[in-house]
Structure 1
């Protein structure tokens, strides 16, 4: 298509001016522009941050789906709101008094603080604080309060499906009282050859969900192959695990999203309390109501600082953490995921050089998200100018040569050593391959770049193996020429 446009320049002077404009616009992204021949829609731009000089551009103002590049907006807005050292607090409060006999006469309430990385370890710290107070029994119920948000209505296909079946991790519905990234974890251990493997909970002595074990122990030296799926019926979640594990090998964990994160927290905390010798008379329940104003504080635990949360969110492109952070940015209670996206849109509206963007989530899972390469570069430039925030922001990006995602280790060594980036991938309803980040030129100057590639219903499948080398070739030339 691009070659046809260039040939057509010979027809009339009007067409010649149009095509010269197209060719000039593609300057700097000649390799990436080849994808237009296959029908892909592209928005790309690279610029130097000190001078603002544009080194390359191709339809830079075309709004396209950024997929997980959206997480850069979530990270930036979170840093702008709270700063790198902010910690989310999870509390235990009571609706009654603790007697001299160590009995809590009332309900024990977990006040979910929206911590995207609350784990069983933090729950143990809360329990230890109860034991320090001498509490060994609770007459009332354990109440898990997700009053801030949860369960947030599903806006994406995977989260809608996960209500009845979980085939991956980190894809659960969102809750301000979720634990362990809203994923169940089970440990598979070999037994004697020919016998079923042992499967236990990663978090509690006794499994807190039903387990359907069809894993066989095979002879040492054979390959391990484990398959897991979480299914849900009227009785709750069941983890089905099948396959084989060789005798004498280390235990292997499996992770699958839960159907109801707050209920998972209730099961886990209830089991841990019993394990610690604290008995609960009334079982557990989940609530969307905040604790009563009269509730008495018993224990609190602060999560990891935001700079650590962002490192995990961006490095591993954790959708659950990203959307939880976006929900934390909303005001009031029981907001929707599009409401969180609106907060991000308002943040983007304040960025110099950015046009209007459309964001329906903080993770990029929503295919309706739309930004242009120029918009993303405006975000990158703004964060580069925030001296106190930039180190944390850029630390969450991957340097290809040593990043945790091996698929980005492509292109020239110059590219792999000189860029810090975030990628975005979607395969439905159309192919999306997006990438954005910073680079350092050979002379030490900072630059930013963004390349958004979107397919259509008629374009073929596009892999990163096909996409990344083209981007790397173009960015490498920019790095080496400056």
Structure 2
């Protein structure tokens, strides 16, 4: 087995695994430059290595090539098993781990994107005599619920009709639509129940009983334009931590790309993620923020290191990676029909010939196991089954925790009234202010 060279970093990883290290500021120990955030590849732990060999042999027996299967498993500072773990491989949506880390580095977990609603004319007798302007700021999670809340806020201001057009700025997106015109059509529809289609009506039906239906009729059409007019409302998005959770639970590619673009593009995401995780830059190779494309490559070791970096970042805020990524047994989305041990926090990834899974596995004797599995081959469904079985064997080997491990227990929602989609208190009236 190989342990980290830094006793200070070792204490941090023990903290993250649920082992107390009194008198040490865990976050400050990992915040400085030059501190590694990964284990150097060395001799594996015999029992886990034997389990990995059995796993790989089962894949080879089905015609898969051993050297195209990347696996890295570690516990705190100790390497447990490794096969091609330092080789960057097509990682599919494991790329979103890097995007999540880079977004946290840039904005912070509590950041909220702002969208402004302006008017180009006066409001008289409930009628806005001019255009309604939506000045977006690249909010990646402006969805039906948010639009309903904006419509209700406009109604409370007395606005029920717009004589002009709906003007959308290019950086406004609704329902993760990359085309601003389509986003504008969705927004216009959301404000007027008489033109709701099935999606809008279905989402509204899921809102709390008593939620009013907005009623703002826009006479004109949707046009792409620039910011103008007098501000009426400031709409603040969900906090970034909740946006990242939504993105990762459903592995939404459009949301991931919007966040990556906001950070500065794939190269900036790669640089920020590698630096924060302390891994060699060549182990993270990206062309976008979503993972679409074989050119997005991440080593299994780097995937684990990025999870650790996110965990370290969240520690001072009393959040955990379970607040940003799906939890087995609690969340659906990409975990539907999976048999991953309960309370594991994971990120999935899939391309036509790639099946990837990374995250943390809770155990009784080793605390948190960080793992990443990247499989190459044509049997994606078979890979998923074998991945789940490998994690089940590892947990049987090291025991099921008797109590939840705090370091990977979700804390959300911290403020349900504020962090639920469509919360009215994230709209601020600006007219006259």
- State the TM bucket, normalised to the shorter chain: 0.5 to 0.7
Alignment TM-score, normalising by the size of structure 2: 0.66
Contact 2:285 2:295 survives alignment (8 Å): yes
**TM-score relative to the length of structure 1:** 0.60
Aligned: 1:400 with 2:400? no
- Of residues 318, 321, 324, the one that matches 2:258 is 324
Residues 80-134 of structure 1 deviation map (CA, whole Å, 9 limit, x = unaligned): 222222222221113x341666654543211123222223333233334434444
1:285 to 197, 210, 222: 222
Count of residue pairs brought into register by the alignment: 339
Inter-partner Cα distance in structure 2 for 1:177 and 1:344: 28
1-structure distance, mates of 2:128, 2:392: 66
Pick the aligned partner of 1:66 from 74, 91, 115: 91
In the alignment, which of 353, 357, 364 is matched to residue 279 of structure 2?
A: 353
Distance 1:279 1:348 in 2: 44
**Structure 1 residues 135-169: Cα deviation after superposition (integer angstroms, max 9, x where no partner):** 455453221112x3779xxxxxxxxxxxxxxxxxx
Residue 300 of structure 1 aligns to a residue whose secondary structure is strand
Higher helix proportion: 2
Paired residues for 1:71-220 under 5 Å:
71-94=96-119, 96-98=120-122, 104-135=128-159, 137-146=161-170, 148=171, 174-175=178-179, 204-207=192-195
Distance 1:329 1:388 in 2: 22
Q: 1:477 to 1:42 in 2, by over 3 A?
A: farther
Gaps of 5+ in 1: 1-20, 152-169, 185-200, 212-238, 240-251, 255-271, 331-339, 411-415
Equivalent position of 1:446 in the other structure? 368
Which has the larger share of strand?
1
Measured at CA, do residues 474 and 177 of structure 1 come closer, stay the same or move farther in structure 2, by a change above 3 Å? Answer: farther
Aligned to 1:298: 232
The separation in 2 between residues aligned to 1:22 and 1:442, in whole angstroms, is: 20
CA distance in structure 2 between the partners assigned to 1:402 and 1:150 by the alignment: 29
**Aligned position for 1:217:** none
**Pair 461,131 (structure 1): closer, same or farther in 2 beyond 3 Å:** closer
Matching of residue 384 in structure 1 with residue 311 in structure 2: yes
Q: What residue in structure 2 maps to residue 337 of structure 1?
A: none
Q: 2:195 & 2:157 partners in 1: Cα distance?
A: 28
Alignment of 1:22-61 (within 5 A): 29-34=52-57, 35-37=59-61, 38-40=63-65, 41-49=68-76, 52-61=77-86
Structure 2 CA distance, aligned partners of 1:380 and 1:446? Answer: 12
d(CA) in 2 for partners of 1:253, 1:102: 28
Pair member with larger Rg: 1
Between 57-66 and 74-83, report the one with greater CA deviation.
74-83
**1:435 to 1:278, Cα distance in 2 relative to 1, 3 A:** closer
Separation in structure 2 between the aligned mates of residue 389 and residue 465 of structure 1, nearest angstrom: 33
CA–CA distance in structure 2, aligned partners of residues 472 and 64 of structure 1 = 21
Residue 232 of structure 1: aligned partner? none
Residue in 1 that maps onto 2:350: 425
> Does the 8 Å CA contact 2:366/2:398 hold for their aligned counterparts?
no
Q: Is the partner of 1:309 in helix, strand or coil?
A: helix
- Residue of structure 2 equivalent to 1:263: none
Q: In structure 2, what is the Cα distance between the partners aligned to 1:477 and 1:183?
A: 49
Instruction: Provide the C-alpha distance between the structure 2 equivalents of 1:318 and 1:383, rounded to a whole number of angstroms.
Output: 19
Do the aligned partners of 2:286 and 2:296 also contact (CA within 8 Å) in 1?
Answer: yes
Q: 2: distance between equivalents of 1:56 and 1:481?
A: 19
Q: Distance in 2 between matches of 1:108 and 1:408?
A: 46
The answer to whether the Cα contact below 8 Å between 2:115 and 2:134 also exists between their aligned partners in 1 is yes
Aligned counterparts of 1:183 and 1:26: Cα–Cα separation in 2? 52
Task: Please give the alpha-carbon distance, in whole angstroms, between the structure 2 residues aligned to 1:384 and 1:461.
Answer: 29
Q: What is the match of residue 163 of structure 1?
A: none
Determine whether 1:437 maps to 2:371.
Answer: no
Closer, same or farther: CA 47–178 of 1 in aligned 2, 3 Å: farther
Query: Within the alignment, does 1:475 sit opposite 2:400 as a pair?
Result: no
SS of 2:347's equivalent in the other structure is: strand
Cα 1:315/1:376, change in 2 over 3 Å? same
Query: In the TM superposition, what whole-angstrom CA distance separates every residue of 1:252-298 from its partner, at most 9, and x where no partner exists?
Result: 959xxxxxxxxxxxxxxxxx99x725553xx12332x5314xx3211
Rounded to whole Å, the distance in 2 between the matches of 1:464 and 1:183 is 38
Q: Is the 1:105–1:139 contact (alpha carbons within 8 Å) kept by the matching residues of 2?
A: yes
